[in-house]
A and B are shown apart, each in its own frame.
Chain A
Amino acid sequence: MSISLWRTIIAKQSKEFFLFSFPAIAVLLLIAIYPIVVAITLSLQNVDLRMPWTREFVGFTNYIRLVSDRRFLNSLKVSLIYATATLSLSILIGLALAFFVQEYFKGKLKNIILFLFLLPFVIPRVSVALMWKFMYSPLLGVYNYFLGRVGIHPIPFLSSPKLALPSIVAVDTWQWCFFIAILIASSMELIPKAPIEAARLDGASKLQVIMYITFPFLKPSLIFIIFIKWVESLRTFDLIFNMTRGGPGIVTETLDLYVYTQGIASAGEISYASSMAIVMLIITILIITVASKWIQK
C-alpha cells in the first residue's frame, strides 16, 4: 500500500475515528512499542545491574562485542538449528499423521484419536521437560532400562555433546507434531470433495490428488502453522532451561538462554543482553519478511 493511499484513507476519516481508535493505539504503544524502544535504548548504553549507578551511552560498543563473543555466536547457531529442526520435523510428522488419520479412520474413532493427539500439547512445558529429563536419565530412566535389558550400555542422552540437542529437539517435536496434525486434519475436513472425485474419475493417482489438490488447499493453513511454530521455536526457553540449562558446556544454549544468563542470572549486563535481544528481533523480522514475500508469490 503506497503512502499516498494511506494519506487519502486518513484524510477521509472523521474526528470520531481518531477519538475512538485512540485507546487501541495507546495500548499498542504502551505494550508493544514502548518495551522495544526501551530495549533499543538499553542496548546502546552500558547499564549493569551490579553497578546501577552508571548509565552512559556507548554507541554500538555492545554490538561490536557480540561479533567476537563465542557464546553469542554459538547460541545464535543453536537457536537457528533448533528452530529449523523442530519446525521441519514437527510439520513433516504432523502432516504424515494427519494424512494417516484422515485416510484410515472415520467418525467417532477419528474424533477419539484426535482428542488423544491433543494430550501432549496440553501438558505444561516445565512438566514435559522434567518428565523427559527423568526418562532420559542413564541410571534411572526408562529408555536406558530397556536398552540395558537388551545388553546395551546406558546412553547419557542429555550429557553427551552430540546427543543433547537432538534429544531436546525430539521432545519439542513430540509435543508439537500431534497438535499440528490436529490443525492440518481439521483444515483437510474443509477441502471440497468434488474436485477430488473428479480427479479420481479422470484417472489421477493418490499421489497426484495429494500433490495437486489437497496440498494447494492446505497451503494457507500450513503457512500460518509454520509462522507460529517458527517464532515459538526461536524463542524457546522453558524446555531447554529445565532439561540441560544450556549444557553440556554450551551445546544447547540458545540465544534466549544466553540473554537470560548474561542479563540477569549470572552477570547482570542488561545492556549487553538487550543488544542480543535486538539482534534476535531483527533476525525474526527478516525471516518473516522473506517468508511472507515467498508466500505471496
Chain B
Amino acid sequence: MKKIVKILTTLLFIVALVATAFPAGAAKYEGVKVKVLAQPLTFWEAMEPFIPEFEKETGISVSITYYPETERRSKSRLDASTGAGAFQVYHVDEQNVPEFANAGWLVPIKDYYPSEYDMDDFAPGYLDFLIWDGVVYGTPFRGGTDLLMYRKDLFEAENYPVPKTMEELRQAAKHFTRPPDLYGISLRGERGAGMNCWLWQEYLANFGGKYFEDTTPVFNSAEGVATTKFYMELIQKYGPPGGVNYSWSAMLDSFMAGKVAMLTCDSDFMLWVENPEKSRVVGKVGYAPFPAGPAGRATNAWAHGIAVSKAGARSEKEKGAAALFIAWITSKESEIRRVKAGEYLMIARMSTLESPEFVEQLEGYPDWIVAFREGLKAGRPLFPRIPEWSEIGDNLGIILEELFVGTRTDIGASLDEAAGYAVKVLEKRR
C-alpha cells in the first residue's frame, strides 16, 4: 500500500511539473506533428525562419515538403484520394478547392480556428476561393490579379501612349515588333487549364464572353471566336519566336531579357521584373491597368490558401493543431512580418493594404499600386469552379495551343469540338 501511494505521489508530482512548465494551450498539442505539402513560394520562404517560434510556443512540430505547382496538385490529389494521409495540411489553389471539397477530402475548418482569429479581414474576392457550397475549407494567404506591364523607356522615348483598350494594345504590339531585337508582346501559349486558358479567359471576358451559362458551355460563341482570333494575331504576329507556346515563366523570361515590349500578366511578376539579379529591365518598366475590351474591363482574381486534409488530420487533436498552425501563419502579425521582410505580395488581408509598412515597401511604384487596385476592383474568378474544370481546361488548352502553333486553323470548329468535349465530361458525372 505504501508503495502504491509513493508511486502515485511521484506521478502526481511529474504531472504537476509538466503542467506548470507549459502554458495551457501549448500542452494541448504537445508533440503533434503537422506536415505541410506546399509549393515553393516566397510566402513559405519568408515564414520558415519564424516556424521554430511557433513550435516552441505550441509544442507542435511542423515540417514542410515542397513540390512544383503541377506536381503539388497531383501529389495532394493522390495523398487524399488513396487515403494515404501523409500530410495534414495542403497548400491549395483556386483549382483544387472545389475538387477536393466536393470529394470530401478537406476538413470544414472554421470551427477549429481560435476564437480571436479575424476572418472578416481577408479580401472577400480571395476568401471566396476557399469557400465551397457555403462552407469554409481554409484560409487564403496570398492572391493576385492581372495588369499590363510595358517598357516605360521605349514608350517614353517615342512618346507612345500606354494602351488602355484591347485595340490600342494590338496597335502598340504591332508598333513595337522589330525582329530580331524586339517583339511586341508575350502571351501564355502552352497548354493547360491554368496556363493558356488562364490568360485566354481574361481576354474572353473583356470581349464579353464566358465559359459556361449554367452548365452549358458557351465559350464557342461569336465572342469566343473573336477573342481567339485576336489572341492568335497577337501571339503569332507580334510575339517572339517560339512565343506561340510559352509558359508563363518563358513569357516572363522574354520580358526580363528585354526582348519584349509588353506583357499582360500577373500583378506579382513585378517581383521578378524589378529584381536586378534576374532582370535586365529593372527600373525600365511601367505598370498600367489591364486593357479594357469591348465589354469593359475584367480581370482574373485568384488566391492560394491553406486547407486541412481529412486523410491526414484524423484525430481532433491533429485537426486543432493544423488549424492553429494556419491561424498563426495567416495572422495579421504574420502578414506584417512578411511585408517587413519584403514579401509585400504574400498578403491577403485588407488591413495590411492600409498599413504604413505596405505603403513604405511600395515606395517608387505608385503606378503599380494603381494598376493593382484597378485590377482588384474588376477581379473575379473567371474560370468555372467545378471539379471537372481541370479536365475540360486541359483539353481546351491543347486545342488552343494547336491553333496557336498552326496544327489547326479552323477556330470555330475547334472551339465547338472543345465545347462538345466539355458537355461529354459533364455528362459522365451526372
Interface residues of A (CB under 8 A from B): 49-52, 71, 137-140, 144, 148, 153-161, 245-251, 261, 264-268
In the complex, B409 has a CB within 8 A of chain A = no
Complex Cα distance, B393 from A138, in Å, reads: 28
In contact, A267 and B407 (Cβ under 8 angstroms) = no
In contact, B244 and A248 (Cβ under 8 angstroms) = yes
Q: A51-B103, A159-B242 are in contact. Are A249 and B259 (CB under 8 A)?
A: no
- The number of chain B residues touching the other chain, given as a range, is 35 or more
Partner of B244 from the list A156, A250, A251, A265 (CB cut-off 8 Å) is: A156
A–B complex contacts, Cβ < 8 Å, 19 sampled: A49-B77, A50-B387, A50-B388, A52-B103, A137-B250, A138-B240, A138-B241, A153-B180, A154-B241, A155-B241, A156-B241, A157-B242, A158-B242, A159-B243, A159-B244, A249-B191, A261-B394, A266-B394, A268-B81
Q: A139-B242, A264-B74 are in contact. Are A245 and B81 (CB under 8 A)?
A: no
Min CB gap A146→B, angstroms: 14
In the complex, B193 has a CB within 8 A of chain A = yes
In contact, B191 and A247 (Cβ under 8 angstroms) = yes
In contact, A265 and B73 (Cβ under 8 angstroms) = yes
Interface residues of B (CB under 8 A from A): 70, 73-74, 77-78, 81, 99, 102-103, 179-180, 189-193, 240-245, 250, 253-254, 257, 259, 387-388, 390-391, 393-394, 398, 401-402, 404-408, 429
Complex Cα distance, B256 from A30, in Å, reads: 52
Q: A50-B99, A139-B259, A247-B191 are in contact. Are A266 and B390 (CB under 8 A)?
A: yes
In contact, A245 and B191 (Cβ under 8 angstroms) = yes
Q: A139-B254, A140-B253, A249-B405 are in contact. Are A265 and B74 (CB under 8 A)?
A: yes
Partner of B103 from the list A50, A140, A159 (CB cut-off 8 Å) is: A50
Complex Cα distance, B245 from A247, in Å, reads: 8
Q: Which residues of chain A come closer than 8 Å to B73, judged between CB atoms?
A: 265
A-side binding surface: helix, strand, loop or mixed?
Answer: loop
Q: Which residues of chain A come closer than 8 Å to B407, judged between CB atoms?
A: 161, 248-249, 251
Q: Which residues of chain A come closer than 8 Å to B189, judged between CB atoms?
A: 159
In contact, B242 and A267 (Cβ under 8 angstroms) = no
What total count of A-B pairs have CB within 8 Å?
97
In contact, A161 and B405 (Cβ under 8 angstroms) = yes
In contact, B245 and A52 (Cβ under 8 angstroms) = no
Q: Which residues of chain B come closer than 8 Å to A156, judged between CB atoms?
A: 241-242, 244
| Extra contacts besides A248-B244, A249-B407, A268-B81 (11): CB < 8 Å | A50-B103, A51-B103, A144-B241, A153-B180, A160-B405, A245-B190, A245-B191, A246-B191, A249-B405, A261-B394, A266-B193
Q: Using CB atoms, name the residue of chain B closest to A154.
A: B241
Complex Cα distance, B187 from A159, in Å, reads: 14
Complex Cα distance, B190 from A245, in Å, reads: 9
Q: Using CB atoms, name the residue of chain A closest to B244.
A: A159
Complex Cα distance, B78 from A247, in Å, reads: 24
Q: A50-B387, A139-B242, A268-B77 are in contact. Are A154 and B180 (CB under 8 A)?
A: yes
Q: A159-B242, A265-B70 are in contact. Are A248 and B394 (CB under 8 A)?
A: no
Q: Which residues of chain B come closer than 8 Å to A71, judged between CB atoms?
A: 398
Complex Cα distance, B429 from A139, in Å, reads: 44
In contact, A267 and B390 (Cβ under 8 angstroms) = yes
Complex Cα distance, B406 from A161, in Å, reads: 8
In contact, A137 and B81 (Cβ under 8 angstroms) = no
Q: Which residues of chain B come closer than 8 Å to A157, judged between CB atoms?
A: 242
Min CB gap B262→A, angstroms: 16
**In the A-B complex, the 3 residue pairs with the closest CB atoms:** A156-B242, A249-B402, A138-B241
Q: Which residues of chain A come closer than 8 Å to B393, judged between CB atoms?
A: 266
Q: Using CB atoms, name the residue of chain A closest to B259.
A: A139
Q: Using CB atoms, name the residue of chain A closest to B250.
A: A137
Complex Cα distance, B240 from A148, in Å, reads: 14
Complex Cα distance, B257 from A112, in Å, reads: 40
Q: Using CB atoms, name the residue of chain A closest to B190.
A: A247
Q: Which residues of chain A come closer than 8 Å to B78, judged between CB atoms?
A: 49, 264
In contact, A153 and B179 (Cβ under 8 angstroms) = yes
